[in-house]
Amino acid sequence: MDNYEKYIKALQKKFDSLIPQDFKNLQKDLNRYSTIIDSISNIGKFFSNSYFDDLSNRIAELTKPFKDIFNSLPDTLRKYYNFKEWANYGWGIIDYVPKENSYFKTVENAVEADSIMENELSDKIIEDIIQDIKKTDLASAAFEEAIECFYNAKYRASILILFSIIDAYSIQLQEISEKKRKLSNSLSKELLQKVEFNDFTLLAYLRVYMPLQAISVLFASGNDFTDEPDLPNRNFISHGMNKRQVKKIDCIKVLSIISNLADLRDFINIEALIKNKKEEA
């Protein structure tokens, strides 16, 4: 029994760290495995009116942990995909915000996501994000200027500087060579394609995915500036083409990305990926 319990715990751990690449195929597999487990459980019903009551109970006992694992997966996967969706609306991970009240929720658009986050963000949380960034190598005179503008409600000026900090970070990661260095949007998309997500636990994967995906969204092409998104688009704002007012929540959104970039190297070797080399173990 001890070995069986160890096996169940190992199986649970594997599922907890699972990073699904294809939700539909995975869900199909889960349904098939669940059917098999139900079939095994039903064997007990066959014996229930015979001399095998003990065997019936034993089968039910042995299959219950498997059923519990499979039954919990749909909710885990839903939270996982909801979490990823927040990056599509420009958000990085803010550790100080309860995940159940924010990232795990299903949101339909950026306006809804921003509204939820506004309710969760206190002045202390915002200050904690700023202070965390100040402790990293992304802190600079430019960052201090951006925060001064932020405190004085000059949000357009603040976000332009914050965008420039992300651009500078992206450029400085790349060596000077004959090849033109990529800007934030192109580099983030390239890194997302190169990172092997199967090597990560779920939390580590989100730590890598969220800031890179959020950058690719906020730094997306202006597409001739004909259709402004409900997001603080770097190109619309920096070229003076934005009709959408830059708000406080927009600056906090970009701050969330910068705070994630500061610890991105804890999870991946960015420089090695840029050079198309795998990080050595």
pLDDT at 188 over 90: no
What's the gap between Cα 63 and its chain centre?
33
Distance CA 150, CA 48 (A): 70
Q: Report d(CA 239, CA 15) in Å as an integer.
A: 46
The yes-or-no verdict on residue 8 having pLDDT over 60 is no
Give me the pLDDT at residue 172, please. 79
Residues 152 and 47 in one domain: no
Where is the domain boundary, 77, 107, 135? 77
Does 69 share its domain with 98? no
**Is residue 75's pLDDT more than 90?**
no
Task: Verify that 109 and 47 share a domain, yes or no.
Answer: no
Higher pLDDT, 220 or 51: 220
CA–CA distance, 91 with 180 (Å, rounded to integer): 28
d(CA 239, CA 20): 39
Q: How many domains does the chain contain in total?
A: 2
Boundary of a domain, candidates 77, 100, 122? 77
Lowest mean pLDDT, pick from 2-11, 105-114, 210-219:
2-11
Q: Which amino acid is at 177?
A: S
**Tens digit of pLDDT for each residue in 125-136?**
999 999 999 999
Q: 25 with 103, same domain?
A: no
Structural domain span for residue 232: 89-274
Question: Quick check: is 83 in a domain?
Answer: no
Q: How far is CA 235 from the centre of its chain?
A: 23
DSSP for the chain, written as a single string? -HHHHHHHHHHHHHHHT---S-HHHHHHHHHHHHHHHHHHHHHHHHHTTTT-HHHHHHHHHHHHHHHHHHHHHHHHHHHHHHHHHHHHTT----TTS-GGGTTTS--SSHHHHHHHHHHH--HHHHHHHHHHHHTSTT--HHHHHHHHHHHTT-HHHHHHHHHHHHHHHHHHTSPPSSSPPP-HHHHHHHHHHHS-GGGS-HHHHHHHHHHHHHHHHHT---GGGTS--SS--HHHHHTT---SPP-HHHHHHHHHHHHHHHTGGGT--HHHHHTT-PPP-
Q: Pick from 246, 248, 241: which is nearest to 227 by CA?
A: 241
Residue (of 90, 79, 266) closest to 163 by Cα position:
90
77, 101, 121: which is the final residue of a domain? 77
Q: What is the pLDDT of residue 234?
A: 94
pLDDT in tens, 12-68: 555 445 444 444 444 555 555 555 555 555 555 554 455 455 655 665 666 566 556
- pLDDT at position 156, please? 97
Same domain, 177 and 210: yes
4 closest CA partner among 52, 70, 65: 65
Answer yes or no: is 27 within a domain.
yes
The pLDDT score that the predictor gives to residue 51 is 46
Q: Are residues 174 and 38 in the same domain?
A: no
Q: Do 184 and 212 sit in the same domain of this protein?
A: yes
At residue 21, the pLDDT reads: 46
pTM of full prediction above 0.85: no
Tell me whether residue 58 is in a domain.
Answer: yes
Q: 23 versus 147: which is more confidently predicted?
A: 147
Distance, CA of 13 to CA of 133 (rounded, Å):
33
pLDDT in tens, 156-165: 999 999 999 9
**236 pLDDT higher than 60:** yes
Tens of pLDDT along 77-125?
777 778 889 999 999 999 999 988 899 888 989 999 999 999 999 999 9
Predicted confidence at residue 154, as pLDDT, reads: 98
